[in-house]
Structure 1
């Protein structure tokens, strides 16, 4: 097997193995050992191979698979009552996420060395994230208890300051936190979503406002379409997160308009009116925003002109993940 560890063979072998994981949307134990073997097999004098491997790992599909595998791994640790520090597969996933996110730094600097993982990511952040999952499990179990055994319990609505700080200062923690938010949104977990949402208004390098995240997030939000009939829920989602960030990037404006085009008939009428005013394009907005806004205005006009009728349940915006290059971190 020695010839397989030559630089010319490492990259395609690593790519094929990772591609198999991407197709299954999970890195299992067997493939994790194979991937680790390739990473550990890079010898002195062959460090430039790390640049090739990091560029492969920075692909959005690879990041998606590694982050989802991390969330699944944490859930398994909870069920086994184990800690992150003792799990080798989890360490490898974090190692590959770190390589992927550091790809452009490595290429720009031409220093081919694995980024050092922050130990507090494993000893503090991941246990905090696991505690959020446990809070959710506990709340759900208590609500399933027979009526006579129930004790009135409120869902936790705050987060530890240190958790929010990790999302702002550590790019790997930020990535995992955002993918956890996507996970709970896809599960239609409204309580957990509203608890975590305020924490992502300020994230590392504004990762929460990239096209890739917003594309996935708005798609998953359509699964909660019935909740948009509540003005309180709309206020949390639109005013609490999207509207306040409009001035940051124009892509946020586009994503809100696309979401409303899909869900306008489910949104509380009073809220829809205020959103239409808040989202009206300015002279500085691009043609894409103006076109989407015009489409929304036409839909609302048609709705007013036509008699009320039972609306069909909207299908989720099951769109493919864009394959776009990961930009360098400034």
Structure 2
């Protein structure tokens, strides 16, 4: 502090030390030093003895005057900055030149920080000095840091990377959350997701700086390419829409994906892509001009966002319902073709960015002309078979049946099922649609179809049992109570539980993702599952020689405790029942 003051020509500790060393009158030297460095205001001197009489220390008085003057100076700096002319900026830079040397003095530091905040551009000299001084760099306002970061990508990366890691961790925590399975990953609205700490900090760091925004997008592309983690795609869209919420048009307007993302964000909020918005999205995709194909890389990332994928797939399920009701061919639905087109573009996001080949993938038309009709056919066959069976049962109950009502082979779904198997083996896009079709069946409690088609997914698309987001959505639907009494609870059925557990634990090579989601399901529905099946699954998880991660081991231990509690409850009920039976056996006493 003393050195900084002496550099500015203000007497400090060294000056006082020399004065006391070379003088024969130390008290006089101290008085001279106090007089020369006190507030040089003649009208003030007569008032100082009065303050002494009131017991007010000179230190407290000088400090209060200093703080008042500092506030006045900060106000003046703000006024100069508002004028915005070159002369005012010159004055501010001149003040900064002098105050920067005093930045190490805590009481004077706010003046320098105020200048940093209000100067449109801090001189290069001061920026370089801040980079060297780590402590001062940390204390600098965000406005100055932005100027440093835009010319120092490595330093900016060091600041951003912890936030990106935290964002990914937060998403994984939600996906594997055991305590609250009903808080589905897809429950939060887009606006609520943008209130997460990591997103807010990143948007604050970017501000109105287009260069920093481009850097963040480049970080996201690179990390997505290296890790294939889809949450980076979510963050790509969330940052853009967070800036939109803050009305930072300087950045949003230069992003070619802005209007497309805005429209898609509205669809995600509504959890459905209606016809009007589908046309808007198609217009954006069709308007990609020749020579500007690079935008397809960012568009594919935005469409690969799990929230966008979930919205598109549920929209496809809704379209399938409408096609069935209105007896329309899938190829005649422009909305369905667009949804599959966008889904395909999203699915090829990693390949587009990795190979830097910015070209929209060609859609296999057989998906629309063969796979989707097969999906509709198995649903219709199942519905007809159910109605026929109910009719037969009703007639048989009346005793009027003499022969078979109808030939069941007429509604056999073996041909469309075989076609589904072919597509599951060859076409990843079909697998994605089929996975959400399984969730759709769970949602509507179609037990007979699940018993038939869940094993198909396990056999012909084994990656489905290790897709964290699919399993999260599946477990979320299964964890919901069945609702009306007429709707069967799938988890109380032995056959369904066996099929489900065989899907989640196909063999020795069960991956941790499937184990975690199986344990999520069991820990929250163990009372609804047949006890024999529950104990069988637990014994497989506890089998000797099985090596689990620490997280899985902890969950298995929790499940074991829950099962033990069930056993204790069952034993207590049995004891109570036995006591009731014993009481019934006691003879009635004879009347008096």
Same fold (TM over 0.5): yes
C-alpha distance in 1 between matches for 2:506 and 2:318: 32
Residue 274 of structure 2 corresponds to residue 55 of structure 1: no
* Residue matched to 1:161: 418
* Residue matched to 1:304: 567
How far off its partner does 1:244 sit? Answer: 1.3
Q: Is the 8 A contact 1:169 1:203 kept in 2?
A: no
Q: Is the 8 A contact 2:421 2:456 kept in 1?
A: yes
Question: Per the alignment, do residues 68 and 203 of structure 1 end up closer, same or farther by CA in structure 2, a change over 3 Å counting?
Answer: farther
C-alpha distance in 2 between matches for 1:133 and 1:157: 9
Q: Which has the higher contact order (CA 8 A, sep 6+)?
A: 1
C-alpha distance in 1 between matches for 2:343 and 2:551: 33
SS at match of 2:520: helix
SS at match of 1:62: helix
Question: Per the alignment, do residues 271 and 43 of structure 1 end up closer, same or farther by CA in structure 2, a change over 3 Å counting?
Answer: same
Question: Per the alignment, do residues 207 and 243 of structure 1 end up closer, same or farther by CA in structure 2, a change over 3 Å counting?
Answer: closer
C-alpha distance in 1 between matches for 2:335 and 2:489: 38
Q: Is the 8 A contact 2:273 2:315 kept in 1?
A: yes
Residue 363 of structure 2 corresponds to residue 117 of structure 1: yes
C-alpha distance in 2 between matches for 1:89 and 1:266: 40
How far off its partner does 1:257 sit? Answer: 1.5
Q: Is the 8 A contact 1:229 1:268 kept in 2?
A: yes
Query: Where do 5+ consecutive residues of structure 2 fail to align?
Result: 1-252, 483-487, 575-592
How far off its partner does 1:246 sit? Answer: 5.3
Deviations 1:225-260 (A, max 9, x none): 844333333222213x12215514111111112211
Q: CA RMSD in A?
A: 2.5
* Residue matched to 1:214: 471
Q: Which stretch of structure 1 is more off in the superposition, 51-60 or 187-196?
A: 187-196
**What's the TM-score, normalizing by structure 1?**
0.84
Q: Which stretch of structure 1 is more off in the superposition, 146-155 or 121-130?
A: 146-155
C-alpha distance in 2 between matches for 1:128 and 1:65: 22
Residue 501 of structure 2 corresponds to residue 244 of structure 1: no
How far off its partner does 1:116 sit? Answer: 0.5
Residue 523 of structure 2 corresponds to residue 276 of structure 1: no
Residue 537 of structure 2 corresponds to residue 291 of structure 1: no
Query: Where do 5+ consecutive residues of structure 1 fail to align?
Result: 1-6, 310-330
* Residue matched to 1:320: none
Q: Among 253, 264, 267, which residue is 2:526 paired with?
A: 264
1:59-70 residue pairs with structure 2 within 5 A? 59-70=305-316
* Structure having the higher Rg: 2
C-alpha distance in 1 between matches for 2:256 and 2:326: 34
C-alpha distance in 1 between matches for 2:519 and 2:375: 31
C-alpha distance in 2 between matches for 1:205 and 1:49: 33
How far off its partner does 1:84 sit? Answer: 1.2
Deviations 1:179-213 (A, max 9, x none): 11101101111111112111111455713421101
SS at match of 1:289: helix
C-alpha distance in 2 between matches for 1:275 and 1:156: 34
* Residue matched to 2:433: 176
C-alpha distance in 1 between matches for 2:260 and 2:461: 29
Q: Is the 8 A contact 1:170 1:204 kept in 2?
A: no
SS at match of 2:506: helix
C-alpha distance in 2 between matches for 1:189 and 1:177: 15
How far off its partner does 1:9 sit? Answer: 5.5
Q: Among 127, 142, 148, which residue is 2:395 paired with?
A: 148
Residue 452 of structure 2 corresponds to residue 190 of structure 1: no
C-alpha distance in 1 between matches for 2:424 and 2:367: 11
Residue 375 of structure 2 corresponds to residue 129 of structure 1: yes
Aligned residues: 302
Question: Per the alignment, do residues 301 and 12 of structure 1 end up closer, same or farther by CA in structure 2, a change over 3 Å counting?
Answer: same
Q: Is the 8 A contact 2:263 2:281 kept in 1?
A: yes
Deviations 1:104-139 (A, max 9, x none): 100001110000001111111011001012123323
Residue 328 of structure 2 corresponds to residue 82 of structure 1: yes
Q: Which stretch of structure 1 is more off in the superposition, 222-231 or 97-106?
A: 222-231
Q: Is the 8 A contact 1:157 1:195 kept in 2?
A: no
Residue 274 of structure 2 corresponds to residue 28 of structure 1: yes
Q: Is the 8 A contact 1:207 1:213 kept in 2?
A: yes
How far off its partner does 1:160 sit? Answer: 2.5
Question: Per the alignment, do residues 203 and 17 of structure 1 end up closer, same or farther by CA in structure 2, a change over 3 Å counting?
Answer: farther
Question: Per the alignment, do residues 246 and 83 of structure 1 end up closer, same or farther by CA in structure 2, a change over 3 Å counting?
Answer: farther
C-alpha distance in 1 between matches for 2:496 and 2:302: 39
How far off its partner does 1:148 sit? Answer: 2.8
Question: Per the alignment, do residues 18 and 262 of structure 1 end up closer, same or farther by CA in structure 2, a change over 3 Å counting?
Answer: same
